[in-house]
């Protein structure tokens, strides 16, 4: 089985916000046990900033907030975090190899394919890839900011069998365990909906950047990629093997959708950030969601944001609900000029692909 294992900062640090070596070694032991059982493991790790603090003589109370300083701290901590992982993996008889990824590696098709080829080769060489977002040089406007989405994208990229998201809670609870003594674990989710997302609450701990909302978003991405996802506690003994073996009560299991989206449409749906939004009428909603049609200018009501040709855009109904995402064949001014016009009424100058705003091959209908 091929498993992508993501471990967040809160699961790798002590109460003072600094890297806890025993937690890293515990996680490496989990990886070693899975490898000994014949499974491939791709490790996605956070913690570079936490690893950089001690080297600069800072503690968690000195934590800066501005992006440039945090990126500088990450530059200091990245090699130290890798040292912790490679040392821990060495003790398990495993070789680790660092891979730093940024959003552009998933947004630019050539880089996307190159990243996949490199990771596949590492696995062929029996190396454990140690993946982190490239925080040091990432533009703050296009960085993901947490490794949950990176892990889900890697699971899709490598056609993994399972995504495991380890955190500091047993999984998704049916109530806030901090305020309700009766809170219990939700063991299985077939489809992530708005109610579950609301139940997940806000962001995570002060030490991490994600939280349960981020975990559910990543699990939804993995599900659409045909990859089942388990959200579980990093403190649980034998958690990775229990996840692989399907041991009941290990965490919250999110089912893979029965119909897997093609790689290109997954890339459009989840790897590309939207640069604008196109509003459509009810007839166009039906054409997209029920009939599997392309989006034509005749069904367009408005356009929001500044976007160019081939930009990723969200497509919403008249109530503002996002129902699809796609690559537009017109820029914003072209969409507004053609809005509401039928192909027969359009001049050759503004017709652009027979009035197609988003072709169905470049369009993904999103879940409710």
Cβ atoms of 27 and 44 within 8 Å: the answer is no
What is residue 354's predicted lDDT score, i.e. its pLDDT? 55
What is residue 204's predicted lDDT score, i.e. its pLDDT? 47
**248 phi, psi to nearest 5 deg:** -60, 145
Per-residue pLDDT of the chain (368 residues; tens, 9 = 90+): 999 999 988 899 888 778 999 999 999 999 999 999 999 999 999 888 888 888 888 876 767 778 888 888 889 999 999 999 999 999 999 999 999 988 777 777 788 889 999 999 999 999 999 999 886 766 554 455 578 888 998 998 899 999 999 998 899 988 777 777 778 899 999 988 777 877 776 444 444 445 788 889 889 889 988 999 999 999 999 999 999 999 999 999 999 988 778 777 877 887 778 999 999 999 999 999 999 999 999 999 999 999 999 999 999 999 999 999 999 999 999 999 999 988 666 654 454 555 899 999 999 998 65
What is residue 1's predicted lDDT score, i.e. its pLDDT? 95
> CA-to-CA distance for 366 and 289, rounded, in angstroms?
9
CB neighbour list of residue 336: distance below 8 Å, 6 or more residues apart: 302, 303
What is residue 40's predicted lDDT score, i.e. its pLDDT? 98
> CA-to-CA distance for 42 and 4, rounded, in angstroms?
5
Q: Which two tokens stand for residue 100?
A: 């730093």
Taking residue 333's Cβ as centre, other Cβ atoms within 10 Å add up to 13
The DSSP bridge partners found for residue 233 are 167
CB neighbour list of residue 13: distance below 8 Å, 6 or more residues apart: 19, 20, 23, 47, 50, 207
Domains by residue range for the chain, with CATH: 2-264 (3.40.1160.10), 274-365 (2.30.130.10)
């Amino acid at each position: 089985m091929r498993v992508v294992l993501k471990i967040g900062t809160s699961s790798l640090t002590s109460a003072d916000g600094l890297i806890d070596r025993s937690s890293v070694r515990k996680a490496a032991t989990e990886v070693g046990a899975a490898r000994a059982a014949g499974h491939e493991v791709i490790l996605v790790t956070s913690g570079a900033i936490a690893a950089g603090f001690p080297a600069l003589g800072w503690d968690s109370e000195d934590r800066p907030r501005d992006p440039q300083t945090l990126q500088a701290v990450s530059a200091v901590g990245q090699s130290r975090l890798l040292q912790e992982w490679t040392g821990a993996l060495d003790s398990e008889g495993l070789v680790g190899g660092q891979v730093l990824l940024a959003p552009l590696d998933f947004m630019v098709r050539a880089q996307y394919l190159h990243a996949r080829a490199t990771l596949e080769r590492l696995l062929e060489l029996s190396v454990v890839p140690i993946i982190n977002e490239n925080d040091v040089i990432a533009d703050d406007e296009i960085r993901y900011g947490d490794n949950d989405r990176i892990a889900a994208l890697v699971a899709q990229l490598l056609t993994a069998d399972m995504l495991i998201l380890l955190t500091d809670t047993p999984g998704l609870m049916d109530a806030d365990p901090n305020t309700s003594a009766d809170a219990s674990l939700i063991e299985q989710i077939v489809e992530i909906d708005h109610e579950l997302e609301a139940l997940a609450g806000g962001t995570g701990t002060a030490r991490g950047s994600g939280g349960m909302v981020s975990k559910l978003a990543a699990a939804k991405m993995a599900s659409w990629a045909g990859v089942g996802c388990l959200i579980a506690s990093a403190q649980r003994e034998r958690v990775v093997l229990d996840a692989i073996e399907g041991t009941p009560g290990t965490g919250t299991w999110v089912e893979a959708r029965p119909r897997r989206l093609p790689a290109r449409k997954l890339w459009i749906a989840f790897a590309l950030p939207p640069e604008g939004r196109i509003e459509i009428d009810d007839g166009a909603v039906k054409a997209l969601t029920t009939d599997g049609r392309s989006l034509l200018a005749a069904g367009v009501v408005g356009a929001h944001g500044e976007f160019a040709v081939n930009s990723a855009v969200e497509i919403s109904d008249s109530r503002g609900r996002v129902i699809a995402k796609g690559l537009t064949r017109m820029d914003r001014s072209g969409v507004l000029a053609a809005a509401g016009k039928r192909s027969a009424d359009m001049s050759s100058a503004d017709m652009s692909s027979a009035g197609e705003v988003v072709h169905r091959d470049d369009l993904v209908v999103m879940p409710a």
